[in-house]
Amino acid sequence: MSSALCWAGAQARLAPCPRQQIATRQHSSRRLAQRAPRQRPPAGGSSTRRPLPPAAAATWQPPPGLAILPWTGDPEQVEALEALRARMAASPYPEAAEDEATLRWFLQDRKLDVAEAEEKLLKMLRWRREFGADFIEWTDIAREAATGKAYLHTHTDVSGRPVIVVRAAKHLTGASNLQDSQRLCVHLMDRALDRLEASNGSGDGPAVQTVLGIFDLRGFTSANADWGFVRFLVDIFFLYYPKRLSQVLFVDAPWVFKPGWEIVRPWLKKYAALVRFAGADDVRREYFTPETVPEDFQQKAKK
């Protein structure tokens, strides 16, 4: 593929954010990048959302112990919410006290343990400030996006989850600045959460809370084994975006990937249960419709 086509494809998948839009990505206006979906009104009336195919009836569920605590608004949850709100109001990030959706999500993640939710939330806020996550501009990631190594898919999967696709063979260790790769990753995750919020605000169907990650490992070699970057991914997905990544697909992993997986699996601890080794056929059949499957996994016509 020519560089011009690669650049055009990257722009189509990852449109640049206007400066004014990015300038609004402050902690208070962006829900601190940890948006919890709005509670839906009771079902009733017609929906404009296209019916899901039969495969969606068997929607994937997280393993025991990794499911997010539902928010019902019962007295215990409300009490925990107000306690966390008071703690955040007295913290170095008082604006977080007004972001109820984020407070709720961290309480759900920590199963209403206020002290643990506060600790994890403060770490996330500190990281975003130090990393500059709220000020990433298109010029910061354009060159990295043009490599085609990762993108936010246009369509959701059959469960309604936004989908981030990573083409591992396009990431060469040392070929680009590590921080550029990190910025692209954060930008994609923030955009996926933006899409979640927009979808959940439509009022159609059940609220979707999480993102699907697909790592296309076809063509993976030792030159693509950037374990420093993988360590960064583990940290941000499970520390700073807790439980937002509900499942990870490793697609067509070659034998050379297996020793690396033995290194990474202990880093994930219990969250290793969220990983599934799958084939491209599984991706097509179980996670998408023929109209929504990513181009990388479309069935090739036989000549």
Q: What is the mean pLDDT of residues 150-156?
A: 96
pLDDT of residue 50: 41
> How open is the CA angle 298-302-303, to the nearest 5 degrees?
135
In this predicted structure, the answer to whether residue 39 has a pLDDT above a threshold of 50 is: no
Share of the chain above pLDDT 70, in %: 77
Indicate the burial class of 101 (C-beta count within 10 angstroms; 0-12, 13-18, 19 or more).
middle
Token digits of residue 183: 């910025």
The per-residue pLDDT for range 42-95, each reduced to its tens digit, is: 333 333 334 344 444 345 677 777 888 889 999 999 999 999 999 999 999 999
Confidence bin at 302 (pLDDT 50/70/90): low
Say which range, 48-52, 123-127, 202-206, has the weakest mean pLDDT.
48-52
3-state class (DSSP) for residue 212:
strand
Q: What is the mean pLDDT of residues 194-218?
A: 83
> Tokens 């990937």 correspond to what residue?
257
The pTM of the full predicted model, rounded to 2 decimals, is: 0.79
Compute φ and ψ for 65, nearest 5 degrees. 90, -10
Nearest to 218 by CA among 189, 182, 255, 173: 255
Q: What is the mean pLDDT of residues 171-186?
A: 90
pLDDT of residue 201: 63
Confidence bin at 199 (pLDDT 50/70/90): confident
pLDDT of residue 60: 64
Q: Are 69 and 108 in contact (CB under 8 A)?
A: yes
